[in-house]
Amino acid sequence: MNFINQYCHIRDRVVTHQGKEFFTGQPGTLDDFMEEVFKFLSPAYPKFYKMDRLSKLGFLASEIIVKDLLFRSRYTPEQVAVVLSNASASLDTDLRYTESLKTIPSPGLFVYTLPNIVAGEICIRQGIRGENAFFVTEKFEAKQMADYVDLVLASEKTRACIAGWTEVLGDYHDIFLYLVENMKGANGLTHTAEQLQKIYLEL
């Protein structure tokens, strides 16, 4: 049996952790909001400023769910997986890159024109070298996510997984990341499709 031990939402410029308000942004753009959250967390990670929006929001949510867990000392790099999904793939960045073609193409944007780059950024930051996957679906599919993550965790070498939904397009953002482990934390929830759907819809 696997357990959801941490989870985080980022919606409407509000960050919640474990269902409780964690950070609320000031009036401004989505880019302003992301920078505010980054400064609030103070992770000393300057590469953040070079990322696209999808990677920034995924990075922030993952930082929150592992922040106080001594994550790297708990698991070897190969024992952690990352499984993500969204509806728009990398379209937000694709549109920005296409716009840059009118003047000078942006290499900095081009490297983010794949949706799974957000998983790569999370892996680099958290020192993860386990299995990773990215699915594009019309909406958050709780059953598909629960089934696939459980399948990944059935492997003897995998003990934890950062998973969830990372949708960004224009000003719209809907981020839901959670940490699943094969041991129950203090407030752990059973990793089922029904439980996932329930906490995804919180707020």
The DSSP string of the chain is --EEEEEEEEETTEEEETTEEEEEPPSS-HHHHHHHHHHHH----GGGGGS-HHHHHHHHHHHHHHTTTTHHHHS-GGGEEEEEEESSTTHHHHHHHHHHTTSS--HHHHTT-STTHHHHHHHHHHT--S-EEEEE-SS--HHHHHHHHHHHHTSTT--EEEEEEEEEETTEEEEEEEEEESS--TT-EE--HHHHHHHHT--
- Judged against a pLDDT cut of 70, whether residue 156 lies above it is answered with yes
Under the banding of pLDDT at 50, 70 and 90, the label for residue 113 is confident
pTM assigned to the model? 0.95
Q: How confident is the model at residue 89 (pLDDT cuts 50, 70, 90)?
A: very high
pLDDT band at 203 (very low <50, low <70, confident <90, very high): low
